[in-house]
Structure 1
Amino acid sequence: MLGNIINQIESYNPNADLDIVVKAYNYAEMAHSNAQTRFSGERYFIHPYNVALILADLHMDVQTICAGLLHDVVEDTGITFDEIKNEFGIEIANMVDGVTKLSKVKYRNKEERQAESLRKMIVAMSKDIRVVIIKLADRLHNIRTLQYMPKEKQ
Structure 2
Amino acid sequence: MKEKIDQLLEKIKKYHQTADLALVKKAFVFAQKVHQGQKRLSGEEYLEHPLSVALILADWRLDTGSLVAGLLHDVIEDGGVRKEKLVSEFGAEIADLVDGVTKIGEIKLRGKSEAVFVENLRKMIVVMAHDLRVVLIKLADRYHNLQTLFALPLEKQKRIAQETLEVYAPLAERLGMGEIKGRLEDLAFPYALLEDYQWVKDFAFPFYRQKEEYLQAVKNEVNKALLKKGIKAKIHGRAKHLYSLFRKLSRPEINKEINKVYDLMALRIIVNTIEECYIALGVIHSLYKPVPSVGVRDFIAQP
TM-score with structure 1 setting the length = 0.90
Partner of 1:16: 19
Aligned: 1:104 with 2:103: no
TM-score with structure 2 setting the length = 0.48
Aligned: 1:63 with 2:68: no
Distance 1:49 1:112, change over 3 A: farther
Aligned residues of 1:102 and 1:117 also touching (Cα < 8 A): no
* Structure 2 counterparts to residues 1-154 of structure 1, below 5 A: 1-34=4-37, 36-106=38-108, 108-109=111-112, 111-112=114-115, 114-154=117-157
The 1-side partners of 2:62 and 2:116 are apart by 28
For structure 2, the 5+ residue unaligned runs are 158-303
The 1-side partners of 2:113 and 2:98 are apart by 26
The 2-side partners of 1:91 and 1:65 are apart by 12
- The structure whose Rg is larger is 2
For structure 1, the 5+ residue unaligned runs are none
Q: CA deviation at 1:124?
A: 3.1
Q: CA deviation at 1:53?
A: 0.8
Q: CA deviation at 1:72?
A: 0.7
The 2-side partners of 1:125 and 1:88 are apart by 21
- AA aligned opposite 1:54: I
**Displacement over 3 Å in runs of 4+:** 105-108, 110-114
Residue identity over aligned pairs, in percent, reads 50
Q: CA deviation at 1:112?
A: 5.0
Aligned residues of 1:124 and 1:132 also touching (Cα < 8 A): no
- AA aligned opposite 1:38: R
- AA aligned opposite 1:74: I
Aligned residues of 2:100 and 2:134 also touching (Cα < 8 A): yes
The 2-side partners of 1:113 and 1:143 are apart by 24
Q: CA deviation at 1:14?
A: 1.2
The 2-side partners of 1:56 and 1:110 are apart by 38
Which structure would you say has the larger RCO, counting Cα contacts within 8 Å and 6 or more residues apart? 1
Q: Which moved more, 1:45-54 or 1:100-109?
A: 100-109
The 2-side partners of 1:140 and 1:24 are apart by 21
Distance 1:79 1:102, change over 3 A: same
Deviations 1:23-74 (A, max 9, x none): 001101110003x211210011111111111111100001001001111101
Q: CA deviation at 1:7?
A: 0.9
Q: Which moved more, 1:42-51 or 1:116-125?
A: 116-125
The 2-side partners of 1:120 and 1:65 are apart by 25
- AA aligned opposite 1:147: F
Distance 1:84 1:109, change over 3 A: same
The 1-side partners of 2:131 and 2:147 are apart by 25
Q: CA deviation at 1:76?
A: 1.1
